Structure 1
Amino acid sequence: MLGKEKRLNLSSRRRKECRTTLISIVFQQLLTMFSIMFFGFLLIRSNVINSEGTRQISTILSLFVMPATMITSFNADFDAKRLKLLLWATLAAFLTISIRAAIAHVLLKKEDRIDKYATIFPNAGFVGIPLVLATVGYEGVFFMSGYIMANNITQWTYGQYLISGDKKAMTLRQTILNPGMIGAAIGLCIYISRLPVPEFLWKSVDSLAALNTPLAMIILGSYIANSNFSELLAFPKAYWTTFLRLIVTALISIGIIYLLPIDDYMVEIVLTIASCAPAATNTAILGRLFGGDYEYGARLVVLTTLLSLFTIPIIVQFAQVLFG
Structure 2
Amino acid sequence: MFIILLQQMLTMLSLIIFGFILIKRKVLDADGTKQISTLLSMYVMPASMIASFNDAFDFDRLKLFGWAIIAALLTITSRILLNHFVFDKEDRTAKYGVTFPNSGFFGIPIVTALIGIQGIFFMSAYIMCNNILQWTYGRALISGDRSSMSIRKVFSNPGMIGATIGLILYIIPLPLPAFMWKAVDSIAALNTSLAMIIIGSFLANSDLKAIFTNRTSYKASLMRLVITPILAIIIIKLLPINNSEVELVMTIASVAPAAANTAILGRVFGGNYEYGARIVVLSSLFSILTIPFMLQFATFIYAL
The TM-score with structure 2 as length reference comes to 0.99
Q: C-alpha separation between the residues in 2 aligned to 1:63 and 1:279?
A: 19
Tell me whether 1:292 sits opposite 2:271 in the alignment. Answer: yes
**1:257 corresponding residue in structure 2:** 236
**Which one of the candidate residues 178, 187, 191 is aligned to 1:208?**
187
Post-superposition CA distance 1:195-215 (Å, at most 9, x none)? 111111101111100101100
Post-superposition CA distance 1:94-118 (Å, at most 9, x none)? 1110000001111100010000001
Tell me whether 1:305 sits opposite 2:284 in the alignment. Answer: yes
SS of the residue 2:236 aligns to: helix
Letter in 1 for 2:224: R
Unaligned runs of 5+ in 2: none
Tell me whether 1:133 sits opposite 2:133 in the alignment. Answer: no
Letter in 1 for 2:151: L
Q: C-alpha separation between the residues in 2 aligned to 1:146 and 1:193?
A: 18
Q: C-alpha separation between the residues in 1 aligned to 2:146 and 2:278?
A: 26
Letter in 1 for 2:198: I
CA RMSD of aligned residues (A): 0.7
Query: Shift of the alpha carbon at 1:169?
Result: 1.2
Aligned length: 303
**2:217 corresponding residue in structure 1:** 238
**1:35 corresponding residue in structure 2:** 14
Letter in 1 for 2:61: R
Query: Shift of the alpha carbon at 1:218?
Result: 0.5
Letter in 1 for 2:24: R
Letter in 2 for 1:88: W
Query: Shift of the alpha carbon at 1:234?
Result: 2.3
Instruction: List aligned pairs for 1:22-61, cutoff 5 A.
Output: 22-61=1-40
**1:9 corresponding residue in structure 2:** none
**1:222 corresponding residue in structure 2:** 201
Q: C-alpha separation between the residues in 1 aligned to 2:173 and 2:123?
A: 20
**1:90 corresponding residue in structure 2:** 69
Q: C-alpha separation between the residues in 2 aligned to 1:293 and 1:264?
A: 40
The TM-score with structure 1 as length reference comes to 0.93
Instruction: List aligned pairs for 1:143-162, cutoff 5 A.
Output: 143-162=122-141
Q: C-alpha separation between the residues in 1 aligned to 2:255 and 2:187?
A: 26
Query: Shift of the alpha carbon at 1:167?
Result: 1.2
Unaligned runs of 5+ in 1: 1-21
**1:4 corresponding residue in structure 2:** none
Query: Shift of the alpha carbon at 1:139?
Result: 1.6
**2:178 corresponding residue in structure 1:** 199
Post-superposition CA distance 1:168-190 (Å, at most 9, x none)? 21111011000011010000000
Could you list the structure 1 runs, at least 4 aligned residues long, displaced by more than 4 angstroms after superposition.
Answer: none
SS of the residue 1:233 aligns to: helix
Tell me whether 1:111 sits opposite 2:87 in the alignment. Answer: no
Q: C-alpha separation between the residues in 2 aligned to 1:24 and 1:104?
A: 33
Instruction: List aligned pairs for 1:2-13, cutoff 5 A.
Output: none
Post-superposition CA distance 1:270-312 (Å, at most 9, x none)? 1111101000000001100110110110110000000001111
**2:142 corresponding residue in structure 1:** 163
Post-superposition CA distance 1:113-148 (Å, at most 9, x none)? 000001100000000000000000112100000000
SS of the residue 1:292 aligns to: coil
SS of the residue 1:196 aligns to: coil
